Amino acid sequence: MSQSRQLYEGKAKILYSTDDPTVLLSEFKDDATAFNAAKRGQIPRKGEINCTISTRLFEQLEALGVPTHWIDSPSPRQMRVKAVEIIPLEVVVRNLAAGSLCRQTGLALGTPIRPPLVEFFYKNDDLGDPLLTGDRLRLLNVATAEEVEQLRQMALTINGHLQMVFDRCDITLVDFKLEFGKLADGSIVLADEISPDTCRLWDRLDEDRERRILDKDRFRQDLGNVEEAYEQVLARILERV
């Protein structure tokens, strides 16, 4: 399938049309951003690493009955995906307290959250991707009440599957962000990516609070060894999943 014109460039990926209007080509970039793109940089091989990790995890989820936009990966940093209309919500699942949840609630880092917390954020860079309450979700009308509940249940199902995957890799899935889209028939599928860019991942084999971080927090917090952390996640997934 031939690559055609560029349709969109985001912070982490470029989308291209193909000769099939129902299929797009997603190319993963090495660019890194944080704090709503206030911090920018590059992580060598990030595009290839994240595409490979996402491919393996999408394959696993598809095999377990979770519908995704993934079709195949024709090259190490490219993924063929179904064309979807992205729902402008970021769905965050939290298993342990970290990041903004700690800052906003005072919970100690690493506090277990049972059952997992599902939060919805408005996908709007100009507004800073704000957290939405149930009433605000209804006010914005970006998804019906039934769709919001479907997203919640899909996110919890995905969380259960991913926890089992990362358990096999001796990695703790602290929290993660999902995006979903609608196919032409209106059905909802998992979209975007699942990678160290979108997940908080802690190495269970290292108790040091900084060394254990295997995700984009290394970039956010200037901890160094970002590429090495991403490489470690990739190596464990390829070996054990």
- Please report, to the nearest 10 degrees, the dihedral formed by the alpha carbons of residues 77, 38, 140, 133 taken in order: 100
Q: Quick check: is 134 in a domain?
A: yes
Instruction: Find how far residue 118's CA is from the centre of its chain.
Output: 14
pTM of the model: 0.96
Per DSSP, the three-state class of 159 is helix
Q: Do 131 and 197 belong to one domain?
A: yes
How many structural domains compose the chain?
2
Q: What pLDDT does 2 receive?
A: 54
The CATH number linked to 71 is 3.30.200.20
The Cα–Cα gap between 15 and 46 comes to 17
In a domain, 187, yes or no: yes
- Say what the pLDDT of residue 4 is: 78
CATH code of residue 194: 3.30.470.20
Q: Is there a contact between 89 and 180 (Cβ–Cβ < 8 Å)?
A: yes
Of the residues 82, 101, 135, the one at which a domain ends: 82
Q: Residue 238 falls within a domain, yes or no? A: no
Helix (H) or strand (E) holding 176: strand 171-182
Amino acid 103: pLDDT: 97
pLDDT of residue 234: 98
Tell me how far apart the alpha carbons of residues 58 and 72 are, in angstroms, rounded to a whole number.
Answer: 10
Domain that holds residue 145: 85-224
Q: What's the confidence (pLDDT) of residue 3?
A: 52
Q: What is the pLDDT, as a whole number, of residue 211?
A: 98
pLDDT of 37: 81
- In angstroms, the CA 69 to CA 81 distance is 5
- Which residue numbers in the chain have pLDDT < 50? 1
Claim to verify: residue 216 and residue 104 sit in the same structural domain: yes
